[in-house]
Chains A and B, each alone.
Chain A
Amino acid sequence: MDYGTAGTALATGLLFGFVLEQAGFGSPCKLTAQFRLTDWSVFKVMFSAIIVAAIGILLLQVNNTFGAQGFYVAEMYLWGTVLGAVLIGAGFAIGGYCPGTSVVGFGSGRIDGLVFMLGMVIGVWAFAGVYDSDFIQAAVTGAQVSARTVPELLGVSPWLVVAAMLLVLAGGFFAGRALEQRSHGVYTAEDITEGRDPGESDELGRDLGREASAARRTDAD
């Protein structure tokens, strides 16, 4: 690996980890709140990021700027993708992270993030141990979908797919806002740092989280 490759890896990885932490994605509470439907940050961040990147990639492909038509898009083996997503979704709900966010969790000081990372290494060994079995071979090589992209698969313009994704984002935004208001609301930076539930309140209904942070602010001044 030459220095240029290492440099781009380090720089893009660094930006990736920086943004994820700023979004609050080092916190397993905030991340799993998406699955409890009480904090829609994961959906909003991921989906808007996908749409921004997709539009950028499509614009670059117009004149094949930066060799954009050669950007890598993996083929899909249906069962491997589906079973993998099942295990990663379940692992997320149980352990509180996905692979990338466990690194971010560890980077913000969380020991459980490091333990999740250790679990992943063991998971890879388990996979390697059964890799030759008929079941795994069928999953990782079977049911290959010939089309790599959705526009190819459906025979539609990629811009139509992006438009549909914008509609899903808008739908998720309004559904998310309604559900966030029905629950205690989203996790703030202070909630995830001090380990509180959002809107934690005492029997008088006072918002202890807000009062505590207000008190801290007064102390700091």
Chain B
Amino acid sequence: MSCQVRPLWPPFVAGIVLGLVVLLTFVLVGNGMGSSGAFARVATEVGLQVAPEATRENAYLGGMAQGNPLAAWIVVAAIGTLVGAILAAVSSGRFRVKVDRGSGRIGVAPRLLLALGGGLLAGFGSRLAAGCTSGVGLSNTAMLGVAGFVFLIVFFVVGILVSLLMRRVW
């Protein structure tokens, strides 16, 4: 692995390439890129392993529980996202196994609890909005969708307000 840490792409370069990736996804698949849907399917698969009957009978998970929940476009795309991130991080000398504690003012355990809690909110919220920053914020907005614009405005305003309470962490 290279020890030399390569610089990040300038924001507008990354933005233009990311826009082309979203465009390519629309052309190849007919819908945009997403992320959170994969977690709904992983939750269904784990549910089937742990409590199969409750999962099949659940009004929300039941539909995904018919057949293999993991055999879905969105799950493979999320695996691709993980592999792409690993390739980029390793090839740029930025891969480090660590718990990222932000500014380092909090310990490992509190940081992991915050990550778990933040993930819980995001997981719940992504099902309410039927998508997340990728599927609604990025892809739906690229289609000039109403949902995308509403999502982005609320997301940024709430993010700024809540981060005022998180100054100790980051």
Residues of A within 8 A of B (CB): 1, 5-6, 8-24, 26-29, 32-37, 40-41, 44-54, 56-57, 60, 66-68, 70-78, 80-113, 115-128, 131-132, 136, 139-140, 145, 147-151, 153, 158, 161-162, 188-190, 192-195, 197, 213, 220
User: Contacts of B133 on A, CB cut-off 8 Å?
Assistant: 46, 88, 92, 98-101
- Which of B46, B115, B147 neighbours the largest number of chain A CB atoms within 10 Å of its CB? B115
Other than A84-B130, A120-B126, give 5 A-B pairs with Cβ distance below 8 A.
Answer: A12-B77, A52-B16, A107-B86, A121-B43, A220-B3
User: Contacts of B141 on A, CB cut-off 8 Å?
Assistant: 50, 54
Q: How many angstroms from the CA of A99 to the CA of B133 in the assembled complex?
A: 7
B interface secondary structure, majority: helix
Contact of A15 among B21, B79, B138 (CB under 8 A): B21
User: Contacts of A8 on B, CB cut-off 8 Å?
Assistant: 25, 28-29, 73
- Are the CB atoms of B84 and A111 closer together than 8 Å? no
A interface secondary structure, majority: helix
Q: How many angstroms from the CA of A78 to the CA of B105 in the assembled complex?
A: 38
- Are the CB atoms of A94 and B166 closer together than 8 Å? yes
Q: Closest approach, in angstroms, between the C-beta of A212 and any C-beta of chain B?
A: 11
Q: Closest approach, in angstroms, between the C-beta of B169 and any C-beta of chain A?
A: 8
User: Contacts of A53 on B, CB cut-off 8 Å?
Assistant: 19-20, 22-23, 26, 32, 138-139, 142
Q: How many angstroms from the CA of A127 to the CA of B12 in the assembled complex?
A: 37
Q: How many angstroms from the CA of A123 to the CA of B144 in the assembled complex?
A: 28
Residues of B within 8 A of A (CB): 3-9, 11-12, 14-33, 35-36, 39-40, 42-43, 46-47, 58-61, 71-89, 92-104, 111-112, 114-134, 136-160, 162-163, 165-167, 170
- Are the CB atoms of B84 and A13 closer together than 8 Å? yes
- Are the CB atoms of B122 and A1 closer together than 8 Å? no
User: Contacts of A108 on B, CB cut-off 8 Å?
Assistant: 85-86, 88-89, 94-96
User: Contacts of A80 on B, CB cut-off 8 Å?
Assistant: 128-130
User: Contacts of B93 on A, CB cut-off 8 Å?
Assistant: 193
- Are the CB atoms of A112 and B111 closer together than 8 Å? yes
Q: Closest approach, in angstroms, between the C-beta of A27 and any C-beta of chain B?
A: 7
User: Contacts of A220 on B, CB cut-off 8 Å?
Assistant: 3-4
Contact of A189 among B16, B94, B112 (CB under 8 A): B94
